[in-house]
């Protein structure tokens, strides 16, 4: 479980040898919140007041375990990440408010489609739909299992929040597009699907593919986490290859199932991949590199907060 720890600091200094004696030096990084350099002659009382304001403005970090200074991959903050998840879930749930069926239900005219999407009009396959659900669950479970194997449960839960945010943000964008476009699904352009499905509100949720969005968001955000944890290891790219392959299978499967057109799947893949890169990039690392200089010793230190 991710817990809220009191604000305090830790540092572990790993000394790099330059002909000097080796040492592992711990230091207190509990300095006041940073402010801009004060002007010469600035009143000390004003400087202290600015430091106090900056300290109060700092957000509350959420880090499950401070024992390993290079993990987890992302720094979470209660004041930022919890609202992001909450607002994202509200946007995602907007799909549940749709009660109207597609404007052309129960049977739409394929001539209204562009040439590319017209090639899949009328497709319907419950088996492929089930396969894509399995693929989506597999990529989510695989991503979490990979993080647990690499970091342990608590750090994996921390980084899984960012991956969840990426998927939620992508799903929120997909939901907005779905409600705005009101595009009929491919199975409405034929009579293979049951009449009840063609007359349901779900029949107008074609653009864009939420399955593709979430799958690609998970694949890319997991890659971002592993690349940060292991900057020089090819493991992140192997994970991206596997995750991307499963996400591609999900996107193609949604087309084969008659749930989405090709353009829907491509749009979902672009949105998901974009959010999978953007959201992790907005999260800083829990640690920072600081110089260590003490007497005849030189090196770098890793400082973090918990």
**Angle ∠(95,121,195) on CA atoms, nearest 5:** 60
Phi-psi domain of 42 (left: phi exceeds 0; alpha: psi -120 through 50; beta: other): beta
- The mean pLDDT value for 117-140 works out to 97
- Flag the least confident range among 5-9, 110-114, 166-170: 5-9
Q: Which of 140, 144, 143, 98 is nearest to 250 (CA)?
A: 140
- The mean pLDDT value for 17-37 works out to 42
User: 257 in a domain, yes or no?
Assistant: yes
Q: Which helix (H) or strand (E) holds 297?
A: strand 297-305
The SS3 assignment for 182 reads: coil
- Judge whether residue 67 has pLDDT over 90: no
Note the pLDDT of residue 6.
34
pTM for the whole thing?
A: 0.80
The residues that bridge with 302 in the sheet, in sequence order, are 12, 289
DSSP 222: H
Query: Do residues 236 and 154 both lie within one domain?
Result: yes
Q: Could you tell me the CA-to-CA distances from 18 to 13, 26, 164, 292, 294 in Å, in that order?
A: 15, 19, 43, 13, 13
Structure confidence at residue 168 as a pLDDT band (50, 70, 90): very high
Note the pLDDT of residue 59.
75
Domain span at residue 245 reads: 81-281
The answer to whether 161 touches 68, Cβ cutoff 8 Å, is no
- The mean pLDDT value for 106-133 works out to 97
Query: Do residues 140 and 180 both lie within one domain?
Result: yes
What phi, psi does 200 have (nearest 5°)? -85, 155
Query: Do residues 13 and 106 both lie within one domain?
Result: no
Structure confidence at residue 167 as a pLDDT band (50, 70, 90): very high
User: 76 in a domain, yes or no?
Assistant: no
The answer to whether 182 touches 282, Cβ cutoff 8 Å, is no
pLDDT in tens, 275-286: 999 999 999 887
User: 259 in a domain, yes or no?
Assistant: yes
Token pair, residue 20, equals 């000097």
Query: Do residues 234 and 118 both lie within one domain?
Result: yes
Note the pLDDT of residue 305.
43
Query: Do residues 64 and 202 both lie within one domain?
Result: no
Query: Do residues 232 and 135 both lie within one domain?
Result: yes
Residue with tokens 């998927």: 167
Query: Do residues 121 and 241 both lie within one domain?
Result: yes
User: 45 in a domain, yes or no?
Assistant: no
Number of domains into which the chain is organized: 2
DSSP 287: E
User: 30 in a domain, yes or no?
Assistant: no
- Burial group, residue 266, by CB count within 10 angstroms (0-12, 13-18, 19+): middle
pLDDT in tens, 212-245: 999 999 999 999 999 999 998 999 999 999 999 9
Note the pLDDT of residue 65.
53
pLDDT in tens, 4-22: 333 333 333 333 323 333 3
Sheet containing 24-25: order of strands:
24-25, 9-14, 297-305, 287-294
User: 291 in a domain, yes or no?
Assistant: yes
Query: Do residues 108 and 245 both lie within one domain?
Result: yes
Query: Do residues 107 and 162 both lie within one domain?
Result: yes
Note the pLDDT of residue 132.
98
């Amino acid at each position: 479980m991710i817990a809220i720890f009191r604000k305090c600091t830790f540092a572990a200094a790993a000394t790099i040898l330059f002909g000097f004696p080796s040492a592992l030096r711990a230091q207190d990084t509990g300095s006041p919140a940073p402010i801009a350099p004060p002007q010469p002659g600035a009143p000390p009382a004003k400087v202290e007041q600015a430091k106090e304001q900056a300290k109060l403005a700092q957000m509350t970090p959420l880090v499950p375990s401070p024992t390993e200074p290079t993990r987890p991959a992302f720094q979470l903050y209660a004041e930022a990440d919890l609202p992001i998840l909450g607002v994202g879930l509200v946007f995602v749930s907007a799909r549940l408010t749709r009660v109207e069926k597609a404007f052309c239900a129960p049977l739409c005219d394929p001539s209204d489609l562009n040439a590319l999407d017209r090639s899949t009009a009328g497709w319907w396959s419950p088996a492929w739909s089930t396969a894509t659900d399995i693929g989506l669950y597999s990529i989510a479970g695989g991503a979490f299992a990979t993080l647990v194997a690499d970091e342990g449960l608590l750090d994996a839960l921390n980084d899984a929040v960012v991956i969840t945010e990426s998927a939620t943000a992508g799903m929120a964008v997909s939901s907005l597009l779905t409600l705005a476009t009101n595009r009929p699904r491919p199975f409405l352009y034929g009579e293979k699907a049951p009449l009840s499905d063609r007359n349901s509100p779900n029949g107008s949720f074609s653009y864009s593919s939420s399955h593709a969005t979430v799958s690609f968001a998970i694949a890319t955000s997991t890659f971002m986490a592993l690349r940060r944890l292991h900057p020089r290891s090819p493991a992140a790219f192997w994970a991206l290859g596997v995750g991307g392959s499963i996400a591609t299978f999900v996107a193609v499967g949604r087309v084969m199932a008659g749930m989405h057109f090709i353009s829907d799947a491509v749009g979902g893949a672009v949105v998901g991949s974009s959010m999978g890169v953007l959201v992790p990039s907005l999260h800083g690392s829990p640690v920072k590199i600081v110089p260590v200089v003490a007497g005849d010793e030189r090196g770098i230190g890793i400082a973090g907060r918990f």
